[in-house]
Amino acid sequence: MTDFDVAVIGSGFAGLTAAITARAEGASVIVLEGSGELGGSSRLSGGKLMGACTRLQREAGIEDDPEDMYRFYMGLNRFRLEPSVIRTLCERSGATIDWLQDIGVAFDSRVMTSGEERAARMHITVGEGMAVSQTLVSEAKRIGVEFALGMKVDRLLVADGEVVGLAVGADTLSVGAVVMATGGFAANRELVSKHLPLLANEDWYWYIGAATSDGSAFELGAQVDAQVVGGGRATRLITPNFGNVLEGGYLPGWLVIVNGEGRRFYDETSSYSVTQPILEGQRAPVFAVFDEESKNSSSPDTVEATKKVSVGKRDGRAQKWVKAMLDEMVERGRVLKADSLEQLAALMGVPEQRLLGTIEEYNHDVTAGQDSHYRKRADVLRKVQTPPFYATELRMAHVALTAVGLRIDSQARVLADSGAAVPGLFAAGECTGGVVGDVYVGSGNSITSAFVFGRVAGSGAATWARPDIPSASSREMDLPS
């Protein structure tokens, strides 16, 4: 006789979704949260999801296809992800967003393009991650999920190779199945250095999630010889050294970005899904260049209007690229200032003639009304011609999520080093690897993964713990009609 059918470790989106799903299918469920607050890093997120064939898309007249989403996702990641896992993500994404609506999560009626995808797939929740988390907690409590706060699980209990419980210190809990949803590891700099070597010595480093993202999944997974995959993968956002100011991964279009050779190398309004791999291939340091006119005209309205994607002004929140902030950073020495472009090149340490040629050609394109090299939107082009001139270094130093973790299969079962599924152990969310690839596909990539595989894990755990519950194969699948 077990204490609970299913135990879920972690209360972010993946954990809460798994708990709701397992409980709705008839299992008794407890969620163990190591901190004193529910929600994990998920509650701090923007609450955006991506999905194909949703009700919201149909209502907006958007035609989409999970197969197209799958091909785009895999192609952007050079097919270096497991097809069965990504097919599950794409094929169940739409129904998962519909399910969230059904349990009370509020969505904006707009469905937008956030990356480079063909169809608009970004779904915007009302109230961001905090509101979504509160809705999930309310639904879980309504249907009878139990919660235990301040319970940091340190051991899995295993009998004859099967996970049969867990422990917090001397306290043990007997369960039929465990779902690990412990989050990432970006708050643990030792693990960051181990798994994300590019960030090992980054002095601008900032993780925008919760302090509870300490990588506990690695220690728990090691107890059952679980595979770890996704080495080196994390979603990093481009940022100047203006402190810990969260403004998303989109830059205002009036910036001119050059590499250490003084040359432009991409469309500055590109989505962060492609900005990261592009910048990783450039000679450092990388700088944003602008002039006095652009600085003086930069306001919250003009900044948002020149971004590739904007879902609205950030009222009451600090912004990086507005005049007041830029002036402050000039005073603090974090934005370089010069009376001529020649002087600016010297301060930047880039070849003078290359920078001058880059700006001359760019200004010519502005006059012509077309970016002849990178096809940046004509309406955001601004000349760099009014002194003084400015430059600030940019780095991919702010971490939104980590993507190294336990390997799961398409059924969210944790896989051991032998390749076999660990009996009774499932996982979802940021503690898993192999779902988010080298390229972050668009706004909502990781959150959609948390919800989709949270549902898969919750259903699988309930079925494992309670054989009398119909298996997923005998129920209606979350496939588009």
Q: Which domain holds residue 340?
A: 236-397
Clarify whether residues 228 and 130 are in a common domain: yes
Q: Which of 341, 375, 397 is the last residue of a domain?
A: 397
Clarify whether residues 368 and 412 are in a common domain: no
Whole-number mean pLDDT of the chain?
A: 94
pLDDT higher than 60, residue 472: no
Q: Which of 397, 414, 436 is the last residue of a domain?
A: 397
Clarify whether residues 11 and 61 are in a common domain: yes
C-alpha distance from residue 240 to each of 92, 245, 285 (Å): 37, 10, 11
Can you give the pLDDT at residue 304? 78
Q: Mark 369-390 as b/e (b = at least 16 C-beta within 10 Å).
A: eebeeeebeeebbbbbbebebb
Phi-psi group of 79: left, alpha or beta (phi > 0 → left; psi -120 to 50 → alpha; rest → beta) = left
pLDDT higher than 70, residue 478: no
Q: Which of 397, 430, 445 is the last residue of a domain?
A: 397
Global pTM value: 0.93
Can you give the pLDDT at residue 305? 76
Integer Cα distance of 130 and 16 in angstroms: 13
Integer Cα distance of 173 and 80 in angstroms: 38
Which range of 4-13, 237-246, 460-469 scores highest in mean pLDDT? It is: 4-13
Per-residue pLDDT tens over the stretch 72-124: 999 999 999 999 999 999 999 999 999 999 999 999 999 998 777 889 999 99
Clarify whether residues 331 and 354 are in a common domain: yes
Q: What percent of the chain has pLDDT over 90?
A: 87
Per-residue pLDDT tens over the stretch 145-185: 999 999 999 999 999 999 999 999 999 999 999 999 999 99
Clarify whether residues 222 and 195 are in a common domain: yes
Clarify whether residues 86 and 176 are in a common domain: yes
Start-end of H helices in 196-232: 216-222
Q: Domain containing 10 — which CATH number? A: 3.50.50.60
Q: Strand runs (DSSP E) across 150-303, as ranges?
A: 155-159, 162-168, 171-180, 206-207, 228-229, 234-240, 256-258, 286-291
Clarify whether residues 22 and 64 are in a common domain: yes
Amino acid at 57: Q
Is 416 strand, coil or helix?
strand
pLDDT higher than 70, residue 214: yes
Is 33 strand, coil or helix?
strand
**What angle, 0 to 180 degrees and rounded to 10, lies between the N-to-C axes of helices 128-142 and 13-24?**
30
Clarify whether residues 211 and 310 are in a common domain: no
pLDDT higher than 70, residue 135: yes
Clarify whether residues 436 and 385 are in a common domain: no
Q: What percent of the chain has pLDDT over 70?
A: 95
Among candidate residues 246, 214, 210, the one with its CA nearest the CA of residue 37: 210
434 within 8 A of 406, measured Cβ to Cβ: no
Phi-psi group of 442: left, alpha or beta (phi > 0 → left; psi -120 to 50 → alpha; rest → beta) = left
Integer Cα distance of 389 and 336 in angstroms: 8
Total structural domains within the chain = 2
Beta bridge mates, 50: 122
Clarify whether residues 316 and 373 are in a common domain: yes
The answer to whether position 16 is within a domain reads yes
The answer to whether position 480 is within a domain reads no
Can you give the pLDDT at residue 102? 98
Tokens standing for residue 325: 């902030």
As a whole number, mean pLDDT of residues 14-24 equals: 98
Clarify whether residues 432 and 458 are in a common domain: yes
